[in-house]
């Protein structure tokens, strides 16, 4: 059953700095890296995959491949997760692939924090 609410050809990309360790994804604060806000598993998974290089259909197919028998409502569940993340300004949708800036491209654990802070300031990026 196809959802008519979301265009699966759109690309999705994160707009937040995130942490990924111990199989948990969380929102991270670049100014205080020890401060993290854990995300529920579905939200965290989508944020971690939101690299701007894949569209929603690819996300659905990837998630289906992780199950021996994918749940019937998988597409609707992912649409709901994407909508929640978009409403929370944690991801955005785009017609085309998006190249993420350095500070959004990788988990905070993999970033040079001084470089990330400098680029954030240069870009005028507003921390969420």
**What pLDDT does residue 29 have?**
93
d(CA 100, CA 65): 26
Question: Could you state, in order of their start, the residue ranges of all structural domains in the chain?
Answer: 11-123
What is the pTM (predicted TM-score) of this model?
0.89
User: Hunting for tokens 């690309």 — which residue is that?
Assistant: 11
Per-residue pLDDT of the chain (128 residues; tens, 9 = 90+): 444 578 999 999 999 999 998 889 999 999 998 899 999 999 999 999 999 999 999 999 999 998 888 888 999 999 999 999 999 999 999 999 999 999 999 999 999 999 999 999 999 987 65
Cβ-in-10-Å burial (0-12, 13-18, 19+) of 19 comes to buried
Residues 6+ apart with CB under 8 A from 94: 10, 11, 12, 13, 52
């Amino acid at each position: 059953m196809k959802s008519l609410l979301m265009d699966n050809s759109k690309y999705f990309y994160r707009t937040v700095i995130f942490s990924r360790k111990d199989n948990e994804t969380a929102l991270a604060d670049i100014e205080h890296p020890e401060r993290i806000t854990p995300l529920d598993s579905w939200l965290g998974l989508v944020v971690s995959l939101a690299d701007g290089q894949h569209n929603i259909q690819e996300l659905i197919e990837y998630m289906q491949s992780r199950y021996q028998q994918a749940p019937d409502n998988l597409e609707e569940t992912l649409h709901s997760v994407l909508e929640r993340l978009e409403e929370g300004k944690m991801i955005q949708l785009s017609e085309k692939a998006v190249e993420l800036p350095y500070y959004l491209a990788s988990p905070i654990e993999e970033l040079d924090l001084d470089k990330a802070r400098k680029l954030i300031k240069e870009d005028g990026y507003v921390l969420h």
